Protein backbone atom coordinates (compact mmCIF):
# COMPACT_ATOMS: atom_id res chain seq x y z
CA UNK A 1 0.00 0.00 0.00
CA UNK A 2 1.39 3.35 -0.93
CA UNK A 3 2.21 6.06 1.60
CA UNK A 4 -0.49 8.21 0.03
CA UNK A 5 -3.15 5.53 0.50
CA UNK A 6 -1.99 5.01 4.09
CA UNK A 7 -2.33 8.75 4.58
CA UNK A 8 -5.78 8.56 3.03
CA UNK A 9 -6.82 5.93 5.57
CA UNK A 10 -5.49 8.13 8.41
CA UNK A 11 -7.23 11.20 7.00
CA UNK A 12 -10.53 9.31 6.78
CA UNK A 13 -10.20 8.21 10.39
CA UNK A 14 -9.45 11.75 11.63
CA UNK A 15 -11.83 13.44 9.17
CA UNK A 16 -9.03 15.88 8.25
CA UNK A 17 -8.53 15.66 4.49
CA UNK A 18 -5.68 18.23 4.65
CA UNK A 19 -3.33 15.45 5.72
CA UNK A 20 -3.41 14.01 2.19
CA UNK A 21 -1.22 16.85 0.93
CA UNK A 22 1.50 16.06 3.45
CA UNK A 23 2.38 12.87 1.57
CA UNK A 24 3.03 14.71 -1.72
CA UNK A 25 6.26 16.74 -1.90
CA UNK A 26 5.03 18.86 -4.84
CA UNK A 27 1.77 19.74 -3.02
CA UNK A 28 3.74 20.84 0.05
CA UNK A 29 6.13 22.94 -2.04
CA UNK A 30 3.26 24.61 -3.91
CA UNK A 31 1.16 25.06 -0.73
CA UNK A 32 -1.70 23.15 -2.36
CA UNK A 33 -3.94 21.27 0.07
CA UNK A 34 -7.50 19.96 0.20
CA UNK A 35 -9.91 21.22 2.87
CA UNK A 36 -13.38 20.12 3.92
CA UNK A 37 -14.20 22.60 6.68
CA UNK A 38 -17.37 23.74 4.94
CA UNK A 39 -18.65 20.23 4.32
CA UNK A 40 -17.63 20.46 0.68
CA UNK A 41 -14.28 19.18 -0.57
CA UNK A 42 -12.27 22.13 -1.90
CA UNK A 43 -8.58 22.46 -2.74
CA UNK A 44 -6.72 25.64 -1.92
CA UNK A 45 -3.45 26.96 -3.33
CA UNK A 46 -2.19 29.46 -0.78
CA UNK A 47 -0.74 32.55 -2.38
CA UNK A 48 3.03 32.95 -2.16
CA UNK A 49 5.28 35.09 -4.33
CA UNK A 50 6.83 32.10 -6.17
CA UNK A 51 3.47 31.58 -7.95
CA UNK A 52 3.73 34.81 -9.95
CA UNK A 53 3.98 34.51 -13.73
CA UNK A 54 3.50 38.15 -14.69
CA UNK A 55 5.07 40.76 -12.44
CA UNK A 56 3.51 43.69 -14.32
CA UNK A 57 -0.18 42.90 -13.79
CA UNK A 58 0.65 41.09 -11.39
CA UNK A 59 -0.85 37.65 -12.10
CA UNK A 60 -0.36 34.06 -11.04
CA UNK A 61 1.47 31.79 -13.54
CA UNK A 62 -0.95 29.79 -15.72
CA UNK A 63 1.09 26.63 -15.23
CA UNK A 64 0.45 26.75 -11.48
CA UNK A 65 -3.31 27.00 -12.09
CA UNK A 66 -3.14 23.89 -14.31
CA UNK A 67 -1.10 22.16 -11.63
CA UNK A 68 -3.56 23.00 -8.84
CA UNK A 69 -6.57 21.94 -10.94
CA UNK A 70 -4.84 18.60 -11.51
CA UNK A 71 -4.18 18.21 -7.76
CA UNK A 72 -7.82 19.19 -7.07
CA UNK A 73 -9.00 16.35 -9.30
CA UNK A 74 -6.63 13.87 -7.64
CA UNK A 75 -7.68 14.85 -4.10
CA UNK A 76 -11.31 14.60 -5.16
CA UNK A 77 -10.86 11.11 -6.61
CA UNK A 78 -8.98 9.93 -3.52
CA UNK A 79 -11.48 11.36 -1.04
CA UNK A 80 -14.85 11.09 -2.76
CA UNK A 81 -14.51 7.81 -4.64
CA UNK A 82 -13.77 4.34 -3.38
CA UNK A 83 -10.29 3.78 -4.70
CA UNK A 84 -7.60 1.31 -3.84
CA UNK A 85 -5.06 2.79 -6.24
CA UNK A 86 -3.66 6.27 -6.71
CA UNK A 87 -5.27 7.77 -9.85
CA UNK A 88 -2.89 8.19 -12.78
CA UNK A 89 -3.40 11.21 -14.98
CA UNK A 90 -3.68 10.54 -18.71
CA UNK A 91 -4.34 14.06 -19.94
CA UNK A 92 -5.67 17.44 -18.94
CA UNK A 93 -7.01 20.43 -20.86
CA UNK A 94 -6.95 23.74 -19.03
CA UNK A 95 -8.98 26.77 -20.14
CA UNK A 96 -7.76 30.12 -18.87
CA UNK A 97 -10.69 32.46 -18.34
CA UNK A 98 -9.31 35.41 -16.37
CA UNK A 99 -5.96 36.50 -15.04
CA UNK A 100 -5.49 35.31 -11.47
CA UNK A 101 -4.59 37.98 -8.95
CA UNK A 102 -1.96 37.46 -6.22
CA UNK A 103 -4.35 35.94 -3.66
CA UNK A 104 -5.37 32.34 -2.78
CA UNK A 105 -6.92 30.16 -5.48
CA UNK A 106 -9.69 27.71 -4.51
CA UNK A 107 -10.95 24.86 -6.68
CA UNK A 108 -13.60 22.17 -6.75
CA UNK A 109 -13.76 19.00 -8.85
CA UNK A 110 -16.68 16.89 -10.02
CA UNK A 111 -16.68 13.50 -11.69
CA UNK A 112 -18.31 13.79 -15.10
CA UNK A 113 -18.11 10.11 -15.87
CA UNK A 114 -16.89 7.24 -13.75
CA UNK A 115 -15.89 4.22 -15.77
CA UNK A 116 -14.39 0.99 -14.57
CA UNK A 117 -10.86 1.97 -15.54
CA UNK A 118 -11.15 5.58 -16.71
CA UNK A 119 -12.61 8.61 -14.97
CA UNK A 120 -13.42 11.97 -16.56
CA UNK A 121 -13.15 14.85 -14.09
CA UNK A 122 -14.07 18.53 -14.41
CA UNK A 123 -12.44 21.07 -12.12
CA UNK A 124 -13.01 24.79 -11.66
CA UNK A 125 -10.81 27.36 -9.89
CA UNK A 126 -11.78 30.77 -8.56
CA UNK A 127 -10.52 33.46 -6.20
CA UNK A 128 -12.85 35.69 -4.18
CA UNK A 129 -15.92 35.27 -6.37
CA UNK A 130 -16.97 31.74 -7.16
CA UNK A 131 -19.16 32.91 -10.04
CA UNK A 132 -16.05 34.25 -11.80
CA UNK A 133 -13.77 31.26 -12.36
CA UNK A 134 -10.15 32.01 -13.32
CA UNK A 135 -9.59 28.60 -14.94
CA UNK A 136 -11.37 25.32 -15.62
CA UNK A 137 -10.03 21.92 -16.62
CA UNK A 138 -11.11 18.54 -17.92
CA UNK A 139 -8.91 15.58 -17.16
CA UNK A 140 -8.82 11.81 -17.62
CA UNK A 141 -7.44 9.49 -14.97
CA UNK A 142 -6.80 5.77 -14.96
CA UNK A 143 -8.08 4.42 -11.68
CA UNK A 144 -7.20 0.75 -12.06
CA UNK A 145 -3.51 0.02 -11.89
CA UNK A 146 -1.85 -1.82 -14.70
CA UNK A 147 1.77 -2.07 -15.74
CA UNK A 148 1.47 -0.08 -18.93
CA UNK A 149 -0.52 2.73 -17.34
CA UNK A 150 0.70 6.32 -17.73
CA UNK A 151 2.63 8.37 -15.21
CA UNK A 152 2.31 10.85 -12.47
CA UNK A 153 1.34 10.45 -8.88
CA UNK B 1 22.62 38.43 -32.41
CA UNK B 2 24.87 35.47 -31.52
CA UNK B 3 23.22 32.29 -30.26
CA UNK B 4 24.66 32.47 -26.72
CA UNK B 5 23.70 36.11 -26.38
CA UNK B 6 20.18 35.34 -27.62
CA UNK B 7 19.75 32.46 -25.18
CA UNK B 8 21.05 34.63 -22.33
CA UNK B 9 18.46 37.28 -23.18
CA UNK B 10 15.60 34.76 -23.23
CA UNK B 11 16.94 33.19 -20.02
CA UNK B 12 16.84 36.58 -18.37
CA UNK B 13 13.32 37.54 -19.43
CA UNK B 14 11.53 34.17 -19.74
CA UNK B 15 13.09 32.29 -16.84
CA UNK B 16 14.80 34.54 -14.30
CA UNK B 17 12.37 37.48 -14.46
CA UNK B 18 9.27 35.26 -14.10
CA UNK B 19 9.12 34.30 -10.43
CA UNK B 20 7.52 30.87 -10.89
CA UNK B 21 9.88 29.90 -13.72
CA UNK B 22 12.76 31.01 -11.54
CA UNK B 23 11.41 28.96 -8.62
CA UNK B 24 11.36 25.92 -10.92
CA UNK B 25 14.93 26.70 -11.96
CA UNK B 26 14.01 26.64 -15.68
CA UNK B 27 16.92 26.98 -18.08
CA UNK B 28 16.46 28.27 -21.61
CA UNK B 29 18.52 26.03 -23.90
CA UNK B 30 17.20 27.00 -27.32
CA UNK B 31 15.61 30.03 -28.96
CA UNK B 32 15.02 30.71 -32.63
CA UNK B 33 12.18 31.94 -34.78
CA UNK B 34 9.06 29.97 -33.81
CA UNK B 35 11.02 27.69 -31.50
CA UNK B 36 11.78 27.55 -27.76
CA UNK B 37 13.50 24.94 -25.63
CA UNK B 38 13.85 24.73 -21.86
CA UNK B 39 15.28 22.34 -19.30
CA UNK B 40 13.87 21.44 -15.89
CA UNK B 41 16.22 19.70 -13.46
CA UNK B 42 14.76 17.03 -11.17
CA UNK B 43 14.24 18.17 -7.59
CA UNK B 44 12.72 16.44 -4.59
CA UNK B 45 10.06 19.19 -4.27
CA UNK B 46 8.69 18.37 -7.73
CA UNK B 47 7.86 14.77 -6.88
CA UNK B 48 4.25 13.61 -7.02
CA UNK B 49 4.82 10.06 -5.85
CA UNK B 50 7.40 9.88 -3.04
CA UNK B 51 7.75 6.12 -3.38
CA UNK B 52 8.82 6.17 -7.01
CA UNK B 53 10.32 9.67 -7.19
CA UNK B 54 8.24 10.33 -10.32
CA UNK B 55 7.55 14.01 -11.00
CA UNK B 56 4.07 15.42 -10.41
CA UNK B 57 2.30 16.71 -13.50
CA UNK B 58 2.47 20.30 -12.21
CA UNK B 59 6.13 21.15 -12.90
CA UNK B 60 5.74 19.79 -16.44
CA UNK B 61 2.54 21.79 -16.96
CA UNK B 62 4.23 25.01 -15.82
CA UNK B 63 7.31 24.33 -17.95
CA UNK B 64 5.29 23.51 -21.07
CA UNK B 65 3.13 26.62 -20.58
CA UNK B 66 6.26 28.75 -20.23
CA UNK B 67 8.01 27.13 -23.18
CA UNK B 68 4.98 27.46 -25.49
CA UNK B 69 4.66 31.11 -24.40
CA UNK B 70 8.29 31.76 -25.22
CA UNK B 71 7.85 30.25 -28.68
CA UNK B 72 5.05 32.78 -29.27
CA UNK B 73 7.33 35.67 -28.29
CA UNK B 74 9.87 34.59 -30.94
CA UNK B 75 7.18 35.12 -33.60
CA UNK B 76 5.79 38.53 -32.70
CA UNK B 77 6.51 41.16 -35.36
CA UNK B 78 5.21 43.84 -33.05
CA UNK B 79 5.55 43.21 -29.33
CA UNK B 80 2.17 42.92 -27.63
CA UNK B 81 0.88 41.39 -24.41
CA UNK B 82 -0.43 37.81 -24.73
CA UNK B 83 -1.92 35.23 -22.41
CA UNK B 84 -2.53 31.48 -22.44
CA UNK B 85 -6.04 30.68 -23.70
CA UNK B 86 -5.88 26.93 -23.25
CA UNK B 87 -3.32 24.23 -22.75
CA UNK B 88 -3.75 20.51 -23.29
CA UNK B 89 -1.21 18.04 -21.97
CA UNK B 90 -1.01 14.32 -22.70
CA UNK B 91 1.10 12.45 -20.18
CA UNK B 92 2.58 9.77 -22.40
CA UNK B 93 4.85 8.02 -19.93
CA UNK B 94 6.33 8.70 -16.48
CA UNK B 95 9.34 11.00 -16.19
CA UNK B 96 12.33 9.07 -14.88
CA UNK B 97 13.39 10.06 -11.34
CA UNK B 98 16.54 12.14 -11.14
CA UNK B 99 16.70 12.95 -14.85
CA UNK B 100 16.34 16.46 -16.28
CA UNK B 101 13.35 17.07 -18.54
CA UNK B 102 13.69 18.97 -21.81
CA UNK B 103 10.75 20.79 -23.41
CA UNK B 104 10.69 21.83 -27.05
CA UNK B 105 7.91 24.11 -28.22
CA UNK B 106 6.98 25.29 -31.68
CA UNK B 107 4.74 28.22 -32.52
CA UNK B 108 3.47 27.13 -35.93
CA UNK B 109 0.83 29.74 -36.69
CA UNK B 110 0.13 33.29 -35.64
CA UNK B 111 -3.07 35.10 -36.60
CA UNK B 112 -4.20 38.60 -35.63
CA UNK B 113 -5.71 37.39 -32.35
CA UNK B 114 -4.42 33.89 -31.64
CA UNK B 115 -1.07 32.06 -31.68
CA UNK B 116 -1.00 28.25 -31.97
CA UNK B 117 1.74 26.16 -30.39
CA UNK B 118 2.66 22.54 -29.76
CA UNK B 119 5.35 21.06 -27.56
CA UNK B 120 6.96 17.84 -26.40
CA UNK B 121 8.78 17.04 -23.18
CA UNK B 122 11.44 14.30 -23.16
CA UNK B 123 14.66 13.13 -21.49
CA UNK B 124 16.89 13.86 -24.47
CA UNK B 125 15.29 11.78 -27.21
CA UNK B 126 12.42 13.71 -28.81
CA UNK B 127 11.12 10.44 -30.28
CA UNK B 128 10.53 9.05 -26.79
CA UNK B 129 8.34 11.76 -25.24
CA UNK B 130 7.17 12.04 -21.63
CA UNK B 131 4.44 14.53 -22.45
CA UNK B 132 2.90 16.23 -25.45
CA UNK B 133 1.22 19.62 -25.29
CA UNK B 134 -0.90 21.91 -27.44
CA UNK B 135 -1.39 25.49 -26.33
CA UNK B 136 -3.18 28.48 -27.80
CA UNK B 137 -2.45 32.05 -26.82
CA UNK B 138 -4.61 35.15 -27.06
CA UNK B 139 -2.68 38.08 -28.50
CA UNK B 140 -3.19 41.74 -27.65
CA UNK B 141 -4.53 41.12 -24.16
CA UNK B 142 -4.81 43.95 -21.67
CA UNK B 143 -1.79 45.34 -19.87
CA UNK B 144 1.37 46.82 -21.17
CA UNK B 145 4.01 45.06 -23.21
CA UNK B 146 6.50 43.39 -20.92
CA UNK B 147 10.20 43.19 -21.62
CA UNK B 148 9.76 39.45 -22.21
CA UNK B 149 7.26 40.04 -24.99
CA UNK B 150 9.45 42.57 -26.70
CA UNK B 151 12.67 40.58 -26.82
CA UNK B 152 11.48 38.21 -29.55
CA UNK B 153 11.93 40.81 -32.23
CA UNK B 154 15.02 42.27 -30.61
CA UNK B 155 16.83 38.94 -30.18
CA UNK B 156 15.66 37.16 -33.30
CA UNK B 157 14.51 39.90 -35.63
CA UNK B 158 11.42 39.81 -37.79
CA UNK B 159 13.42 38.75 -40.85
CA UNK B 160 15.72 36.16 -39.35
CA UNK B 161 15.94 32.95 -41.32
CA UNK B 162 16.45 29.75 -39.37
**How far, CA to CA in Å, does B101 sit from each of A63, A65, A82, B66?**
16, 20, 34, 14
| Cross-chain Cβ contact B86/A150 below 8 Å | no
Q: Which CATH superfamily is domain A3-142 in?
A: Hotdog Thioesterase (3.10.129.10)
Nearest-by-Cβ selection for B57 from A53, A62, A70: A70
Domain spans of chain A? 3-142
What domains lie within chain B, and their CATH numbers?
Answer: 3-156 (3.10.129.10)
A103 touches chain B (CB under 8 A): no
Element (H, E) at B109: strand B101-110
pLDDT digits (tens, 9 = 90+) for A19-66: 889 989 999 999 999 999 888 999 999 999 999 999 888 999 999 999
The beta-carbon neighbor of A89 closest among B65, B91, B144 is B91
Q: Which residues of B touch A3 (CB under 8 A)?
A: 50-51
Q: Which of A141, A151, A153 to mutate to test the interface with B (most CBs of B within 10 A)?
A: A151
- Give yes or no for A27 touching B (CB within 8 A): yes
The whole-number mean pLDDT for each consecutive block of 10 residues of chain B, a chain of 162 residues, reads 87 93 97 96 94 92 96 89 95 95 97 96 96 96 74 67 41
Round to whole Å and give the CA distance between B152 and A37: 47
Query: What is the predicted ipTM?
Result: 0.91
Amino acid sequence: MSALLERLAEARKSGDVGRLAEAIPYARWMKIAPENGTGELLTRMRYHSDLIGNTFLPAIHGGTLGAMLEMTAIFHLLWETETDTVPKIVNITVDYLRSARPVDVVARATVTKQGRRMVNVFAEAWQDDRSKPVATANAHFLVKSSDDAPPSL
Amino acid sequence: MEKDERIALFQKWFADAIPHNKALGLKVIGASRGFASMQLDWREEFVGNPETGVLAGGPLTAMLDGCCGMSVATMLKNPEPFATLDLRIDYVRPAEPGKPVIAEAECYRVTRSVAFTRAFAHHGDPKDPIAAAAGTFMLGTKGRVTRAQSIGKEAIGAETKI
